[in-house]
């Protein structure tokens, strides 16, 4: 019998039939896949027992993450909001679910966290959409982040040049194409992001 990591890789190569995959992927299963992977890609996540596998992103995707990180970090630091981090990560915000947002803000209340398991909530989660991740980012992950009450979840659409902002109780997102204003509850001063200028920095 193959050890778990080999069995998992074997399952990944087989056709996606009813018998090819475990009925429900757990945090333990996903961590085993992550440990067996020689690199950070593909990215493995599990939500509600579903395994989400994301291949390495395009260059434009990574460029956008760098620009967003540069925009967010000074504001977060200046107002003592916490830390701006990104994937690869190992966030178990809900029992037996593992998520790795492209970019996220760990709140100051968790500033002493030293292990991913110490991070129990986020102030903000961001995903830059890719063709391979679009459905999961806009549906599966969006519902998850709403359910665990992450105050804001942004999906950044490089093709449409818009940001969709979701809040926990929203039925539809705010679709922003000119300016994104972020104001966490504890802060008097807003962060205003010029989206036209932001997207202009990224070549299609």
Q: CATH number for the domain including 169?
A: 3.90.1570.10
Give yes or no for a contact between 140 and 25, defined as CB atoms under 8 angstroms apart. Answer: no
* Residue tagged 């333990």 (tokens): 28
Q: Is the domain of 13 the same as that of 70? A: no
**Omega cis (within 30) before 58:** no
Please indicate, yes or no, whether residues 84 and 27 belong to a single structural domain of this protein.
no
**Alpha helices, DSSP H, located in 80-156:** 134-135, 141-147
The verdict on 112 and 160 lying in the same domain is yes
pLDDT value at 14 more than 50: no
Cα 114 from Cα 94, distance rounded (Å)? 18
Q: How large is the angle between the packed helices 4-13 and 27-36, nearest 10 degrees?
A: 90
Highest mean pLDDT among 40-44, 64-68, 183-187: 64-68
The domain tally of the chain equals 2
**Confidence label for 20 from pLDDT (cuts 50, 70 and 90):** low
pLDDT of residue 56: 87
Co-location of 170 and 135 in the same domain: yes
Which of 15-24, 30-39, 80-89, 121-130 comes out lowest in average pLDDT?
15-24
What is the SS3 assignment for 10? helix
Calculate the alpha carbon distances from 109 to 81, 128, 159, 168 in Å.
9, 26, 36, 20
Are 100 and 17 in the same domain? Answer: no
190 and 93 inside one domain: yes
Q: Say yes or no: 70 and 156 in one domain.
A: yes
CA distance 76 to 5: 38
Please state, in angstroms and rounded to a whole number, the distance separating the CA atoms of residues 145 and 48: 12
What is the domain range of residue 176? Answer: 59-200
The confidence band for 7, taking pLDDT boundaries of 50, 70 and 90, is very low
Residues 68 and 47 in one domain: no
Angle at 130 between CA 123 and CA 190, to 5 degrees: 30
Q: How far apart are CA 118 and CA 115, in angstroms?
A: 5
The conformation of residue 39, written as its DSSP 8-state character, comes to S
* pLDDT single digits (tens) 54-107: 998 899 999 999 999 999 999 999 999 999 999 999 999 999 999 999 999 999
Rounded Cα–Cα distance for residues 161 and 183 (Å)? 22
Same domain, 45 and 76: no
Q: Are 166 and 100 part of one and the same domain?
A: yes
Burial of 100 (0-12, 13-18, 19+ CB in 10 A): buried
The pTM (predicted TM-score) of the whole model is 0.86
Query: What are the helix (H) ranges across the chain?
Result: 4-13, 27-36, 59-78, 134-135, 141-147, 195-200
The last residue of one of the domains, among 54, 69, 89, is 54
Residues 19, 76 share a domain: no
Which pLDDT band, with edges at 50, 70 and 90, does 166 fall under?
A: very high
- Kindly state whether residues 89 and 176 are assigned to the same domain: yes
The confidence score (pLDDT) of residue 18 equals 36
């Amino acid at each position: 019998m193959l050890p778990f990591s080999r069995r998992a890789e074997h399952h990944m190569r087989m056709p996606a039939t009813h018998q090819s995959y475990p009925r429900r992927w757990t945090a333990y299963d996903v961590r085993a896949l992550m440990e067996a992977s020689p690199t950070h890609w593909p990215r493995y996540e599990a939500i509600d027992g579903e395994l989400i596998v994301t291949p390495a992103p395009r260059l434009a995707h990574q460029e956008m993450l760098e620009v967003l990180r540069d925009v967010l970090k000074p504001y977060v630091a200046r107002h003592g909001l916490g830390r701006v981090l990104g994937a690869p990560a190992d966030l178990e915000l809900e029992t037996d679910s593992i998520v790795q947002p492209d970019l996220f803000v760990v709140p100051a209340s968790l500033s002493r966290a030293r292990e991913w398991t110490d991070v129990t909530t986020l102030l903000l989660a961001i995903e830059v959409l890719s063709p391979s991740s679009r459905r999961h980012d806009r549906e599966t992950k969006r519902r998850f982040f709403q359910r665990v009450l992450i105050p804001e979840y942004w999906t950044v659409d490089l093709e449409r040049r818009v940001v969709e902002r979701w809040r926990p109780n929203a039925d539809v997102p705010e679709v922003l194409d000119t300016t994104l204003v972020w104001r966490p509850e504890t802060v008097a001063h807003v962060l205003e992001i010029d989206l036209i200028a932001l997207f202009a920095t990224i070549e299609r």
